[in-house]
């Protein structure tokens, strides 16, 4: 089980009704995490993943920060996530 810090910015907070939360997951990639969060926040996956191409929508951003590393912009939804990471959904 991985422990992540999730941050939600701008329009994403309309779905989550929060700015920050700790989250435990078995997801191994951003794509799996987004699908998991859609179960808690219906519409989350549609906000971030184009259903036709299964690529990230162009009007959103996701940043991933591994522990003690500078966050990077995620382009590939299959980007791996690790324990202690921070994910920002914008």
Q: What is the pLDDT of residue 80?
A: 97
Q: What is the pLDDT of residue 34?
A: 98
What domains can be seen in the chain, in order of their start residue?
2-89 (3.10.20.30)
Q: What is the pLDDT of residue 16?
A: 97
User: If DSSP states are collapsed to H, E and C, what string results for the chain?
Assistant: CEEEEEEECHHHHHHHCCCEEEEEECCCEHHHHHHHHHHHCCCHHHHHECCCCCCECCCCCEEEECCCCCCEECCCCCCECCCCCEEEEC
pTM for the predicted model, two decimal places: 0.94
Residue-wise pLDDT for 20-65, tens only, equals 999 999 999 999 999 999 999 999 999 999 999 999 999 999 999 9
Q: What is the pLDDT of residue 46?
A: 96
């Amino acid at each position: 089980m991985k422990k992540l810090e999730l941050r939600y910015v701008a329009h994403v907070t309309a779905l989550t009704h929060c700015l920050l939360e700790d989250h435990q997951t078995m997801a191994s990639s951003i794509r799996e995490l987004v699908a998991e969060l859609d179960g808690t926040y219906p519409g989350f996956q549609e906000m971030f993943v184009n259903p036709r191409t299964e690529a990230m929508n162009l009007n959103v951003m996701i940043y991933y920060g591994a522990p003690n590393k500078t966050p990077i912009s995620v382009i590939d939804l299959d980007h791996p996530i690790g324990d202690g990471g921070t994910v920002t959904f914008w």
